[in-house]
Structure 1
Amino acid sequence: MGGERVLRVLLVEDDPAARRLLRDHLLGSELPVQVEEAEDGEEGLALIAGLEPDLVILDLVMPRVSGLGVLLALQERPPEQRPRILVVSQVSSVALADRVLDLGADFFFQKPVRLGELLTAIQALCPCQEEVPCQPLRRGQADRLLEEMGAPERLQGRRWLAVAAETMAAAGRPILLKEAYYPAVHLSASTYAAVDKNIRDVIRRIHDTGSPAYYAVMGGVPDRCPSNGVFLRCLAHELRRRADSAG
Protein backbone atom coordinates (compact mmCIF):
# COMPACT_ATOMS: atom_id res chain seq x y z
CA MET A 1 0.00 0.00 0.00
CA GLY A 2 1.26 3.45 -0.88
CA GLY A 3 0.63 6.54 1.12
CA GLU A 4 1.31 10.22 1.30
CA ARG A 5 4.54 11.77 2.43
CA VAL A 6 4.65 15.06 4.28
CA LEU A 7 6.13 17.89 2.24
CA ARG A 8 8.55 20.16 4.07
CA VAL A 9 7.82 23.71 2.89
CA LEU A 10 9.83 26.79 3.85
CA LEU A 11 8.28 30.26 3.44
CA VAL A 12 10.91 32.97 2.99
CA GLU A 13 9.00 36.25 3.16
CA ASP A 14 9.66 39.45 5.12
CA ASP A 15 6.01 40.59 5.22
CA PRO A 16 4.37 38.91 8.26
CA ALA A 17 0.86 39.27 6.82
CA ALA A 18 1.83 37.70 3.49
CA ARG A 19 3.71 34.94 5.29
CA ARG A 20 0.73 34.20 7.52
CA LEU A 21 -1.63 34.14 4.54
CA LEU A 22 0.55 31.65 2.66
CA ARG A 23 0.97 29.48 5.76
CA ASP A 24 -2.77 29.40 6.44
CA HIS A 25 -3.51 28.55 2.80
CA LEU A 26 -1.05 25.67 2.83
CA LEU A 27 -2.14 24.25 6.17
CA GLY A 28 -5.79 24.60 5.20
CA SER A 29 -5.32 22.71 1.93
CA GLU A 30 -5.52 18.96 1.41
CA LEU A 31 -1.77 18.74 0.90
CA PRO A 32 0.14 17.02 3.72
CA VAL A 33 2.59 19.81 4.53
CA GLN A 34 4.91 20.89 7.30
CA VAL A 35 5.49 24.64 7.10
CA GLU A 36 8.48 26.56 8.45
CA GLU A 37 9.08 30.30 8.11
CA ALA A 38 11.97 32.70 7.60
CA GLU A 39 11.78 36.50 7.80
CA ASP A 40 14.51 37.23 5.25
CA GLY A 41 16.97 35.60 2.90
CA GLU A 42 19.72 35.21 5.48
CA GLU A 43 17.47 33.26 7.84
CA GLY A 44 16.09 31.38 4.85
CA LEU A 45 19.53 30.13 3.81
CA ALA A 46 20.24 28.99 7.37
CA LEU A 47 16.96 27.06 7.52
CA ILE A 48 17.50 25.53 4.08
CA ALA A 49 20.84 24.19 5.30
CA GLY A 50 19.37 22.88 8.54
CA LEU A 51 15.94 21.63 7.49
CA GLU A 52 16.57 20.48 3.90
CA PRO A 53 13.03 21.45 2.79
CA ASP A 54 11.41 19.89 -0.27
CA LEU A 55 10.12 23.26 -1.43
CA VAL A 56 10.92 26.94 -0.81
CA ILE A 57 8.39 29.69 -1.49
CA LEU A 58 10.66 32.69 -1.93
CA ASP A 59 9.98 36.42 -1.99
CA LEU A 60 12.46 38.55 -3.93
CA VAL A 61 12.57 41.92 -2.15
CA MET A 62 13.79 41.34 1.42
CA PRO A 63 16.31 42.88 3.84
CA ARG A 64 19.81 41.52 4.48
CA VAL A 65 19.74 38.86 1.72
CA SER A 66 17.29 39.23 -1.16
CA GLY A 67 15.54 36.42 -2.98
CA LEU A 68 18.03 36.73 -5.82
CA GLY A 69 20.80 36.42 -3.23
CA VAL A 70 19.25 33.18 -1.98
CA LEU A 71 19.09 31.80 -5.52
CA LEU A 72 22.71 32.75 -6.16
CA ALA A 73 23.82 31.07 -2.92
CA LEU A 74 21.94 27.88 -3.80
CA GLN A 75 23.76 27.73 -7.14
CA GLU A 76 26.81 26.59 -5.16
CA ARG A 77 24.99 23.37 -4.28
CA PRO A 78 24.82 20.40 -6.66
CA PRO A 79 21.43 20.39 -8.46
CA GLU A 80 20.23 17.28 -6.64
CA GLN A 81 20.80 19.01 -3.28
CA ARG A 82 18.73 22.10 -4.08
CA PRO A 83 15.08 22.38 -3.02
CA ARG A 84 12.41 23.14 -5.58
CA ILE A 85 11.69 26.86 -5.57
CA LEU A 86 8.57 28.94 -6.21
CA VAL A 87 9.37 32.64 -6.49
CA VAL A 88 6.65 35.17 -5.62
CA SER A 89 7.08 38.89 -6.22
CA GLN A 90 5.19 42.16 -6.47
CA VAL A 91 7.47 43.04 -9.39
CA SER A 92 6.82 41.12 -12.59
CA SER A 93 8.44 41.20 -16.01
CA VAL A 94 9.58 38.68 -18.59
CA ALA A 95 13.21 39.70 -17.98
CA LEU A 96 12.87 39.14 -14.22
CA ALA A 97 11.16 35.79 -14.74
CA ASP A 98 13.96 34.70 -17.07
CA ARG A 99 16.53 35.81 -14.50
CA VAL A 100 15.08 33.82 -11.61
CA LEU A 101 14.60 30.74 -13.81
CA ASP A 102 18.20 30.95 -14.97
CA LEU A 103 19.19 30.99 -11.29
CA GLY A 104 17.35 27.74 -10.61
CA ALA A 105 13.79 28.73 -9.67
CA ASP A 106 11.07 26.41 -10.95
CA PHE A 107 8.13 28.83 -11.12
CA PHE A 108 7.60 32.58 -10.93
CA PHE A 109 4.35 34.05 -9.59
CA GLN A 110 3.27 37.66 -9.35
CA LYS A 111 1.56 38.69 -6.12
CA PRO A 112 -1.20 38.31 -5.16
CA VAL A 113 -0.81 34.59 -5.78
CA ARG A 114 -3.90 32.54 -6.56
CA LEU A 115 -4.14 29.67 -4.10
CA GLY A 116 -5.31 27.12 -6.66
CA GLU A 117 -2.40 27.83 -8.99
CA LEU A 118 0.08 27.73 -6.13
CA LEU A 119 -1.19 24.35 -4.95
CA THR A 120 -1.13 22.95 -8.48
CA ALA A 121 2.49 24.05 -8.85
CA ILE A 122 3.42 22.40 -5.56
CA GLN A 123 1.73 19.16 -6.58
CA ALA A 124 3.54 19.23 -9.93
CA LEU A 125 6.95 19.79 -8.36
CA CYS A 126 6.58 17.64 -5.25
CA PRO A 127 4.03 14.84 -5.72
CA CYS A 128 2.78 13.62 -2.34
CA GLN A 129 1.73 10.16 -3.47
CA GLU A 130 4.29 7.44 -2.85
CA GLU A 131 2.45 4.68 -4.71
CA VAL A 132 4.70 4.92 -7.78
CA PRO A 133 8.26 5.76 -6.76
CA CYS A 134 10.05 7.72 -9.46
CA GLN A 135 13.21 9.70 -9.93
CA PRO A 136 13.12 13.52 -9.92
CA LEU A 137 13.30 15.25 -13.27
CA ARG A 138 16.59 16.85 -14.23
CA ARG A 139 16.32 20.58 -14.89
CA GLY A 140 16.74 21.40 -18.57
CA GLN A 141 16.03 17.84 -19.73
CA ALA A 142 12.98 18.87 -21.75
CA ASP A 143 14.85 21.63 -23.57
CA ARG A 144 17.65 19.22 -24.49
CA LEU A 145 15.12 16.72 -25.80
CA LEU A 146 13.42 19.40 -27.89
CA GLU A 147 16.81 20.30 -29.34
CA GLU A 148 17.31 16.64 -30.31
CA MET A 149 13.93 16.74 -32.02
CA GLY A 150 14.88 19.75 -34.14
CA ALA A 151 13.03 22.58 -32.37
CA PRO A 152 14.78 25.87 -33.25
CA GLU A 153 16.03 27.68 -30.16
CA ARG A 154 14.91 31.04 -31.55
CA LEU A 155 11.23 30.07 -31.45
CA GLN A 156 9.57 31.67 -28.43
CA GLY A 157 7.37 28.67 -27.82
CA ARG A 158 10.27 26.25 -27.30
CA ARG A 159 10.88 27.33 -23.72
CA TRP A 160 7.16 27.36 -22.99
CA LEU A 161 6.83 23.86 -24.44
CA ALA A 162 9.72 22.65 -22.28
CA VAL A 163 8.14 24.12 -19.14
CA ALA A 164 4.76 22.58 -19.97
CA ALA A 165 6.29 19.15 -20.63
CA GLU A 166 8.28 19.19 -17.38
CA THR A 167 5.16 20.25 -15.47
CA MET A 168 3.20 17.37 -16.96
CA ALA A 169 6.00 14.85 -16.36
CA ALA A 170 6.57 15.94 -12.77
CA ALA A 171 2.89 15.77 -11.85
CA GLY A 172 2.92 11.99 -11.67
CA ARG A 173 -0.79 11.99 -12.58
CA PRO A 174 -2.96 13.02 -15.53
CA ILE A 175 -3.36 16.80 -15.65
CA LEU A 176 -5.30 19.13 -17.90
CA LEU A 177 -3.53 20.92 -20.73
CA LYS A 178 -4.35 24.21 -19.03
CA GLU A 179 -2.59 23.02 -15.86
CA ALA A 180 0.51 22.22 -17.90
CA TYR A 181 0.37 25.64 -19.58
CA TYR A 182 -0.13 27.86 -16.57
CA PRO A 183 3.58 28.18 -15.56
CA ALA A 184 4.39 29.39 -19.09
CA VAL A 185 1.48 31.82 -18.94
CA HIS A 186 2.91 33.30 -15.74
CA LEU A 187 6.46 33.39 -17.08
CA SER A 188 5.46 35.12 -20.29
CA ALA A 189 2.89 37.47 -18.75
CA SER A 190 0.78 36.29 -21.68
CA THR A 191 -2.49 34.43 -22.23
CA TYR A 192 -3.32 30.73 -22.53
CA ALA A 193 -4.26 31.30 -26.18
CA ALA A 194 -0.90 32.91 -26.96
CA VAL A 195 1.04 30.15 -25.20
CA ASP A 196 -1.01 27.49 -27.00
CA LYS A 197 -0.35 29.12 -30.38
CA ASN A 198 3.39 29.48 -29.82
CA ILE A 199 3.68 25.89 -28.63
CA ARG A 200 1.69 24.81 -31.68
CA ASP A 201 4.21 26.56 -33.95
CA VAL A 202 7.08 24.64 -32.35
CA ILE A 203 5.30 21.29 -32.67
CA ARG A 204 4.59 21.95 -36.35
CA ARG A 205 8.26 22.77 -36.94
CA ILE A 206 9.33 19.57 -35.16
CA HIS A 207 6.84 17.54 -37.21
CA ASP A 208 7.99 19.08 -40.49
CA THR A 209 11.64 18.40 -39.60
CA GLY A 210 10.87 14.73 -38.99
CA SER A 211 13.92 13.86 -36.91
CA PRO A 212 14.58 10.31 -35.64
CA ALA A 213 14.29 11.63 -32.08
CA TYR A 214 10.78 12.93 -32.85
CA TYR A 215 9.68 9.61 -34.31
CA ALA A 216 11.12 7.77 -31.31
CA VAL A 217 9.20 9.94 -28.85
CA MET A 218 5.97 9.57 -30.84
CA GLY A 219 6.40 5.80 -31.17
CA GLY A 220 6.54 5.90 -34.96
CA VAL A 221 5.92 8.24 -37.88
CA PRO A 222 2.70 10.22 -37.27
CA ASP A 223 0.46 10.50 -40.33
CA ARG A 224 -0.35 14.08 -39.33
CA CYS A 225 0.98 16.71 -36.95
CA PRO A 226 -0.13 15.68 -33.45
CA SER A 227 -2.28 17.92 -31.31
CA ASN A 228 -0.61 19.88 -28.54
CA GLY A 229 -2.08 17.56 -25.93
CA VAL A 230 -0.95 14.36 -27.65
CA PHE A 231 2.55 15.71 -28.26
CA LEU A 232 2.92 16.93 -24.67
CA ARG A 233 1.81 13.59 -23.24
CA CYS A 234 4.34 11.74 -25.41
CA LEU A 235 7.08 14.21 -24.49
CA ALA A 236 6.25 13.99 -20.78
CA HIS A 237 6.26 10.19 -20.96
CA GLU A 238 9.74 10.23 -22.51
CA LEU A 239 11.00 12.66 -19.86
CA ARG A 240 9.62 10.43 -17.13
CA ARG A 241 11.18 7.34 -18.76
CA ARG A 242 14.60 8.99 -18.98
CA ALA A 243 14.44 10.22 -15.40
CA ASP A 244 13.52 6.77 -14.09
CA SER A 245 16.20 5.08 -16.22
CA ALA A 246 18.85 7.51 -14.98
CA GLY A 247 17.87 6.72 -11.39
Structure 2
Amino acid sequence: MEEAAIRLLIVDDNPELCDILENYFNLTSEITVCGVARDGEEALFRIAQSQPDVVLLDLIMPKLDGITVLERLAQAELAHRPRFIVTSAIGQDAFTSTALSLGADYYMIKPYDLDALRARVRLVAERPAGTAAPGFPMDAAQAVLAAGIPPHVLGYRYCIAGVEMLLESQGPCSIVKDVYAGVAERFETTPACVEGAVRKAIRRAWEQNGGQFSALPGLGDTGAAPPANGRFLMALRACIASVGRGRGLG
Protein backbone atom coordinates (compact mmCIF):
# COMPACT_ATOMS: atom_id res chain seq x y z
CA MET A 1 0.00 0.00 0.00
CA GLU A 2 1.43 3.36 -1.03
CA GLU A 3 2.04 5.85 1.77
CA ALA A 4 -0.03 9.04 1.75
CA ALA A 5 1.83 12.16 0.68
CA ILE A 6 2.85 14.67 3.32
CA ARG A 7 0.43 17.61 3.23
CA LEU A 8 2.36 20.90 3.22
CA LEU A 9 0.90 24.37 3.78
CA ILE A 10 3.07 27.26 2.53
CA VAL A 11 2.75 30.53 4.47
CA ASP A 12 4.71 33.41 2.97
CA ASP A 13 3.88 36.92 1.72
CA ASN A 14 6.27 36.62 -1.25
CA PRO A 15 4.09 35.47 -4.19
CA GLU A 16 7.07 34.57 -6.39
CA LEU A 17 8.56 32.34 -3.70
CA CYS A 18 5.18 30.70 -3.12
CA ASP A 19 4.92 29.89 -6.83
CA ILE A 20 8.44 28.44 -6.88
CA LEU A 21 7.76 26.28 -3.82
CA GLU A 22 4.37 25.11 -5.08
CA ASN A 23 5.78 24.15 -8.48
CA TYR A 24 8.76 22.39 -6.90
CA PHE A 25 6.76 20.30 -4.43
CA ASN A 26 4.10 19.45 -7.01
CA LEU A 27 6.85 17.58 -8.88
CA THR A 28 7.49 15.32 -5.88
CA SER A 29 5.51 12.24 -4.97
CA GLU A 30 6.00 12.28 -1.19
CA ILE A 31 4.93 15.91 -0.55
CA THR A 32 1.83 17.71 -1.80
CA VAL A 33 0.97 21.40 -1.31
CA CYS A 34 -2.47 21.54 0.30
CA GLY A 35 -2.67 25.33 0.38
CA VAL A 36 -0.90 28.69 0.30
CA ALA A 37 -1.43 31.61 2.70
CA ARG A 38 -0.03 35.12 2.22
CA ASP A 39 -0.45 36.49 5.77
CA GLY A 40 -0.89 35.34 9.34
CA GLU A 41 -4.66 35.62 9.46
CA GLU A 42 -5.05 33.53 6.33
CA ALA A 43 -2.55 31.04 7.77
CA LEU A 44 -4.78 30.39 10.81
CA PHE A 45 -7.77 29.85 8.53
CA ARG A 46 -5.89 27.52 6.17
CA ILE A 47 -4.43 25.46 9.04
CA ALA A 48 -7.91 24.84 10.44
CA GLN A 49 -9.40 24.22 7.00
CA SER A 50 -6.70 22.12 5.32
CA GLN A 51 -5.28 20.26 8.34
CA PRO A 52 -1.73 20.09 6.92
CA ASP A 53 0.95 17.75 8.24
CA VAL A 54 3.66 20.43 7.98
CA VAL A 55 3.46 24.22 7.80
CA LEU A 56 6.27 26.24 6.23
CA LEU A 57 5.80 29.46 8.19
CA ASP A 58 7.52 32.76 7.44
CA LEU A 59 8.14 34.80 10.60
CA ILE A 60 7.82 38.28 9.04
CA MET A 61 4.37 38.75 7.47
CA PRO A 62 1.54 41.31 7.31
CA LYS A 63 -1.50 41.30 9.62
CA LEU A 64 -0.15 38.61 11.96
CA ASP A 65 3.51 37.59 12.07
CA GLY A 66 4.68 34.02 12.45
CA ILE A 67 5.25 34.35 16.21
CA THR A 68 1.65 35.48 16.74
CA VAL A 69 0.40 32.59 14.61
CA LEU A 70 2.29 30.14 16.82
CA GLU A 71 1.05 31.87 19.98
CA ARG A 72 -2.58 31.60 18.88
CA LEU A 73 -2.21 28.00 17.81
CA ALA A 74 -0.63 27.14 21.17
CA GLN A 75 -3.91 28.24 22.81
CA ALA A 76 -6.19 26.64 20.24
CA GLU A 77 -7.71 23.18 20.48
CA LEU A 78 -6.85 21.62 17.14
CA ALA A 79 -8.02 18.17 16.11
CA HIS A 80 -4.83 17.83 14.10
CA ARG A 81 -1.74 19.84 15.12
CA PRO A 82 0.80 20.21 12.30
CA ARG A 83 4.57 20.39 12.52
CA PHE A 84 6.16 23.77 11.83
CA ILE A 85 9.26 24.83 9.92
CA VAL A 86 9.75 28.55 10.49
CA THR A 87 11.76 30.67 8.07
CA SER A 88 13.12 34.19 7.92
CA ALA A 89 15.53 36.25 5.84
CA ILE A 90 16.87 37.90 9.00
CA GLY A 91 18.43 35.81 11.72
CA GLN A 92 17.45 37.29 15.07
CA ASP A 93 18.09 35.18 18.14
CA ALA A 94 15.01 36.41 20.02
CA PHE A 95 12.63 35.54 17.17
CA THR A 96 14.05 32.09 16.51
CA SER A 97 14.28 31.13 20.17
CA THR A 98 10.69 32.29 20.76
CA ALA A 99 9.44 30.36 17.73
CA LEU A 100 11.12 27.16 18.93
CA SER A 101 9.76 27.64 22.45
CA LEU A 102 6.24 27.97 20.99
CA GLY A 103 6.47 24.60 19.28
CA ALA A 104 8.28 25.17 15.99
CA ASP A 105 10.16 22.03 14.97
CA TYR A 106 12.83 23.52 12.73
CA TYR A 107 14.26 26.87 11.64
CA MET A 108 15.74 27.78 8.26
CA ILE A 109 17.28 31.03 7.06
CA LYS A 110 16.31 32.36 3.63
CA PRO A 111 17.39 31.78 0.96
CA TYR A 112 17.29 28.04 1.49
CA ASP A 113 18.16 25.18 -0.81
CA LEU A 114 14.99 23.53 -2.11
CA ASP A 115 16.34 20.01 -1.79
CA ALA A 116 17.42 20.73 1.79
CA LEU A 117 13.96 22.13 2.53
CA ARG A 118 12.36 19.02 1.09
CA ALA A 119 14.51 16.87 3.38
CA ARG A 120 13.52 18.97 6.41
CA VAL A 121 9.82 18.68 5.58
CA ARG A 122 10.18 14.91 5.53
CA LEU A 123 12.24 14.99 8.73
CA VAL A 124 9.70 16.90 10.82
CA ALA A 125 6.73 15.05 9.32
CA GLU A 126 8.19 11.63 10.11
CA ARG A 127 9.45 12.45 13.62
CA PRO A 128 7.36 10.61 16.24
CA ALA A 129 5.40 12.83 18.58
CA GLY A 130 6.87 13.24 22.04
CA THR A 131 10.44 12.29 21.11
CA ALA A 132 11.81 15.00 23.39
CA ALA A 133 10.70 16.90 26.43
CA PRO A 134 9.78 20.60 25.95
CA GLY A 135 12.86 22.78 25.86
CA PHE A 136 15.27 20.05 24.80
CA PRO A 137 17.00 20.23 21.42
CA MET A 138 15.68 17.58 19.03
CA ASP A 139 18.01 18.10 16.09
CA ALA A 140 21.15 19.91 15.02
CA ALA A 141 19.50 23.27 14.27
CA GLN A 142 17.79 23.48 17.66
CA ALA A 143 20.91 22.32 19.49
CA VAL A 144 23.08 24.95 17.78
CA LEU A 145 20.52 27.66 18.62
CA ALA A 146 20.25 26.46 22.21
CA ALA A 147 24.02 26.68 22.55
CA GLY A 148 23.82 30.38 21.67
CA ILE A 149 25.17 30.42 18.10
CA PRO A 150 23.46 33.40 16.37
CA PRO A 151 21.59 32.34 13.19
CA HIS A 152 22.90 35.30 11.17
CA VAL A 153 26.58 34.37 11.47
CA LEU A 154 28.19 32.18 8.83
CA GLY A 155 29.32 29.57 11.33
CA TYR A 156 25.69 28.82 12.29
CA ARG A 157 25.02 26.89 9.07
CA TYR A 158 28.40 25.22 9.22
CA CYS A 159 27.83 24.07 12.80
CA ILE A 160 24.46 22.55 11.87
CA ALA A 161 25.92 20.75 8.86
CA GLY A 162 28.89 19.53 10.93
CA VAL A 163 26.71 18.13 13.71
CA GLU A 164 24.45 16.45 11.15
CA MET A 165 27.48 14.76 9.61
CA LEU A 166 28.62 13.55 13.01
CA LEU A 167 25.13 12.19 13.74
CA GLU A 168 25.05 10.36 10.40
CA SER A 169 28.52 8.87 10.84
CA GLN A 170 28.48 5.16 11.62
CA GLY A 171 32.08 5.02 12.80
CA PRO A 172 35.07 7.22 13.71
CA CYS A 173 34.79 10.64 12.10
CA SER A 174 37.67 13.10 11.70
CA ILE A 175 36.67 16.71 12.32
CA VAL A 176 39.29 18.00 9.88
CA LYS A 177 39.28 15.35 7.14
CA ASP A 178 35.60 14.41 7.23
CA VAL A 179 33.54 17.21 8.78
CA TYR A 180 35.36 20.32 7.53
CA ALA A 181 35.84 18.79 4.09
CA GLY A 182 32.23 17.62 3.87
CA VAL A 183 30.78 20.95 4.97
CA ALA A 184 33.11 22.80 2.59
CA GLU A 185 31.94 20.68 -0.33
CA ARG A 186 28.29 21.22 0.57
CA PHE A 187 28.62 25.00 0.77
CA GLU A 188 31.18 25.33 -2.05
CA THR A 189 33.91 26.82 0.12
CA THR A 190 37.18 25.61 1.67
CA PRO A 191 37.80 23.56 4.82
CA ALA A 192 39.87 26.46 6.19
CA CYS A 193 36.89 28.82 5.79
CA VAL A 194 34.63 26.33 7.55
CA GLU A 195 37.08 25.92 10.43
CA GLY A 196 37.48 29.68 10.85
CA ALA A 197 33.75 30.46 10.69
CA VAL A 198 32.90 27.75 13.22
CA ARG A 199 35.65 28.99 15.55
CA LYS A 200 34.36 32.59 15.36
CA ALA A 201 30.77 31.47 15.98
CA ILE A 202 31.77 29.42 19.02
CA ARG A 203 33.84 32.27 20.45
CA ARG A 204 30.98 34.73 19.98
CA ALA A 205 28.51 32.45 21.77
CA TRP A 206 31.03 31.71 24.53
CA GLU A 207 31.75 35.42 25.12
CA GLN A 208 28.04 36.22 25.36
CA ASN A 209 27.05 33.29 27.56
CA GLY A 210 29.89 30.89 28.26
CA GLY A 211 27.99 29.44 31.21
CA GLN A 212 25.50 27.85 28.82
CA PHE A 213 28.30 25.64 27.49
CA SER A 214 28.62 23.92 30.86
CA ALA A 215 25.26 22.22 30.17
CA LEU A 216 26.68 20.45 27.14
CA PRO A 217 27.71 16.83 27.81
CA GLY A 218 31.45 16.51 28.22
CA LEU A 219 32.26 20.24 28.37
CA GLY A 220 31.61 21.32 31.94
CA ASP A 221 33.50 24.46 32.91
CA THR A 222 35.26 25.73 29.77
CA GLY A 223 37.56 27.92 31.82
CA ALA A 224 39.17 31.01 30.31
CA ALA A 225 38.78 30.02 26.66
CA PRO A 226 36.01 28.63 24.44
CA PRO A 227 36.14 24.92 23.61
CA ALA A 228 37.85 23.71 20.46
CA ASN A 229 35.65 23.27 17.40
CA GLY A 230 35.74 19.49 17.46
CA ARG A 231 35.00 19.25 21.15
CA PHE A 232 32.05 21.65 20.79
CA LEU A 233 30.52 19.82 17.81
CA MET A 234 30.95 16.44 19.50
CA ALA A 235 29.26 17.83 22.62
CA LEU A 236 26.27 18.94 20.54
CA ARG A 237 26.04 15.48 18.99
CA ALA A 238 26.09 13.92 22.45
CA CYS A 239 23.45 16.40 23.59
CA ILE A 240 21.06 15.38 20.81
CA ALA A 241 21.74 11.68 21.38
CA SER A 242 21.01 12.06 25.08
CA VAL A 243 17.53 13.54 24.56
CA GLY A 244 15.92 10.10 24.49
CA ARG A 245 17.48 9.40 27.87
CA GLY A 246 15.94 12.52 29.45
CA ARG A 247 18.93 14.83 29.21
CA GLY A 248 19.80 17.77 27.01
CA LEU A 249 20.58 21.44 26.85
CA GLY A 250 17.70 23.48 28.17
TM-score range, shorter chain: 0.5 to 0.7
Q: CA offset at residue 56 of structure 1?
A: 0.6
Identity of aligned residues (%): 25
Residue 239 (structure 1) aligns with: 243
Q: CA offset at residue 155 of structure 1?
A: 6.2
Q: CA offset at residue 65 of structure 1?
A: 2.6
Residue 31 (structure 2) aligns with: 33
| Matched position secondary structure for 1:9 | strand
Change (3 A) 1:51 1:140: same
Q: Which amino acid aligns with 1:70?
A: V
| Cα shift readout 1:172-201 (whole Å, capped 9, x = no counterpart) | x9479799xx9xxxxxxx944556789999
How far apart are the structure 2 equivalents of 1:107 and 1:195?
Answer: 20
How far apart are the structure 2 equivalents of 1:49 and 1:109?
Answer: 24
Matched residues, number: 195
Q: CA offset at residue 32 of structure 1?
A: 0.4
Does structure 1 conserve the Cα–Cα contact (< 8 Å) formed by 2:67 and 2:95? no
| Cα shift readout 1:152-188 (whole Å, capped 9, x = no counterpart) | xx9636xx9xx97xx97xxxx9479799xx9xxxxxx
Cα RMSD for the two superposed structures: 4.7
Change (3 A) 1:155 1:94: closer
Residue 9 (structure 1) aligns with: 8
Q: Aligned to 1:156, which of 133, 148, 157?
A: 148
Change (3 A) 1:227 1:24: same
Residue 136 (structure 2) aligns with: 141
Matched, 1:100 2:99: yes
Higher relative contact order (CA 8 A, sep 6+): 1
Q: Which amino acid aligns with 2:63?
A: R
Gaps of 5+ in 1: 144-153, 183-189, 210-225, 243-247
How far apart are the structure 2 equivalents of 1:236 and 1:76?
Answer: 28
Change (3 A) 1:156 1:82: same
Q: Which amino acid aligns with 2:148?
A: Q
Gaps of 5+ in 2: 139-145, 150-155, 170-177, 187-195, 221-229
Residue 218 (structure 2) aligns with: 207
Deviates more, 1:118-127 or 1:14-23: 118-127
How far apart are the structure 2 equivalents of 1:191 and 1:80?
Answer: 44
1:57-76 equivalences in 2 (<5 Å): 57-76=56-75
Q: TM-score, normalization: structure 2?
A: 0.56
Q: CA offset at residue 110 of structure 1?
A: 2.9
